[in-house]
Amino acid sequence: MSAARRFLFLQGLAGPFFTRLGDHLRALGHEVHRVNFNAGDAAHWAGRPASNFRGSVDELPGWLASKLRELGSTDVMLFGCHRPVHLASITAARTHGACIHAFEEGYIRPNWITVERIGAQVPVALPRDPHWYREVDRLLPRHDDDQAIRVPLALRARQEVAYHLCNAVNPIFFPGYRSHRPRAALLEFAGFVRRYAAMPVDTSADAGLISDLLTRGRRYFLLPLQLNGDAQIVHHSPFLNIAEVIDVVLRSFAAHAASHTHLVVKNHPLDPGLGGHGREVRHRAEALGIGRRVHYIETGHLPTLLDHASGTVVVNSTVGMSALSQGCPTKALARPIYDMAGLTSRVSLNDFWRDPEPPDPALYRAVRNTVIHATQVNGDFCTRRGIALAIAGCGRMLEELSPLEQLLKRHWAQSAVDSGNIGWQPECRVMSPAGSGV
């Protein structure tokens, strides 16, 4: 076994994943400690070694720097780099020299979670060079779908409810904590209840609309919405919110799409229904004179919609990868990991409605396979089976270099040999801004 490490866990998802991963690492002989930022964190950790941070986020860097020194932490674990408590923590962890392991929802959906390593100075990111993927992919084993995972929406909802019910006592025990979510949990729960109570009616109406589009052979584009508070919208896009996305896309569609073309706007399945997206879509479409050609749906079988769409417009959603997998022309309005020549359309959004460029299927397979090898672990964060699979795949965290660092090192070294410039220099690694799908 490798030398014992000292893991410090920060915030995870509202579920048991971090607790079980911590237990697994402890069973391997590593030291495991956690920082509880709120009552939900403390309840999930259930009495295991932990420290409670009760101050404001402004006090966190200094407090955490002291805690890292006290514990001698070698590794820091977190879910969601852009949560306020993590933005404040990453700098302290880098200064301390700890290896930071960042978990996110999978870039490839379903069946995968994302596990990436944040470097001591700058993040090591996936390149944007199509040639790099074609070359590297030839060296890798084939990654198909591995073991299929189904995460019941009801299970995820129960875990969220349990976590946030605990947080009702935060004003007493964690007075400095402020959530990263844009709305109060109670308000979101009320929205979910209302939205899912209407789901049977919405499902029937949406199925009829989709059937009519397909039966009549209508040419349509798809706009799948993301969540308002999604870090990929807030931190990695030019948009302030989803209403702005809707406005930009509908204006372009009205001005530049052929008059016989339709647009289907599909809501995110985890949206609490508080943003009034349906009302916004209908209002903007009517104002632009395209009310009969723009359709808003709450539900719908995504693979069927993608299979028949003339194109898909995304900001940086993981739906983009699904669209590319089905050969659907895709226009990205931000910089997700799949936004590169040969995959996403290079024309402007205005031109995309009339000239959607299809992806190169061979390049897509190379990118998908490389992304899975470098950053993805089979499993999920919610179910017992999915968590067990994910924990088994997280053994990569104990290696000196992450899979992505190994690929970059190997490819750089080969390029250096070919050019006569021997020796790998980490600061020369290919970097790019972060940016993934939800």
pLDDT given at position 436 = 36
- Single pTM value for the model: 0.87
Per-residue burial over 282-313, b = 16 or more CB atoms within 10 Å of its CB, e = otherwise: bebbeebebeebbbbbbbbebeebbebbbbbb
Work out the pLDDT band at 429, boundaries 50, 70, 90.
Answer: very low
- Overall size of the chain counted in residues: 438
Angle between helix 361-375 and 130-137 (nearest 10): 70
Pair of tokens at residue 23:
């237990």
- Give the least confident one: 20-29, 115-124, 179-188: 179-188
Count of CA atoms in the C-beta half-sphere (13 A) of 143: 22
pLDDT given at position 414 = 52
Residue (of 396, 241, 374, 302) closest to 109 by Cα position: 302
Starting at the edge strand found earlier in the chain, the sheet holding 112-118 runs: 50-52, 31-36, 6-9, 75-79, 99-105, 112-118, 376-378
Q: In this model, does residue 145 exceed pLDDT 70?
A: yes
More confident: 51 or 236: 51
Q: Which residue has the tokens 């397979």?
A: 365
Q: Which residue has the tokens 């070694």?
A: 49
Residue (of 9, 82, 401) closest to 237 by Cα position: 82
Work out the pLDDT band at 233, boundaries 50, 70, 90.
Answer: confident
Q: Which residue has the tokens 């969601």?
A: 80
- Domains of the chain are 181-367 (3.40.50)
The pLDDT mean for the chain works out to: 88
pLDDT given at position 119 = 64
Work out the pLDDT band at 226, boundaries 50, 70, 90.
Answer: very high
pLDDT given at position 2 = 62
Tell me: the pLDDT tens digits for 195-218? 778 888 889 999 999 999 999 999
Residues 393-398 have a mean pLDDT of: 93
